[in-house]
Amino acid sequence: MKSLKQSQKVRIIVSGVAIYTTVKQIRFGLFGFTNQNLGANQALDALESARRTDSVADRTVGLSGTWSQLRIQLDIL
């Protein structure tokens, strides 16, 4: 499984604030603060990694955790 397409739509929730966006916008700095951008990119990398290791039937479509000391949830739409 390759990385997610840049145009893939996702929902990211950072510290309780939900944003509907694309993978490209996350990669190029969606937020005004460095730690939020870093955390969002780390979450996106973790999701892509999980999708590479899952079988096709069990493909991961979202995850949540703590990155850069922020609670982040990321879901593929």
pLDDT tens digits, one per residue of 5-55:
899 999 999 989 999 999 999 999 888 888 999 999 999 999 988 887 766
* Distance in angstroms between the alpha carbons of the first and the last residue of the chain: 18
What is the per-residue pLDDT for 60? 76
- Whether the CB-CB separation of 51 and 1 falls below 8 Å is answered with yes
Tell me the pLDDT band of 1, cut-offs 50, 70 and 90.
very low
What is the per-residue pLDDT for 65? 94
Domain spans in the chain, listed from the N-terminal domain onward: 9-76
**Mean pLDDT along residues 52-67:** 78
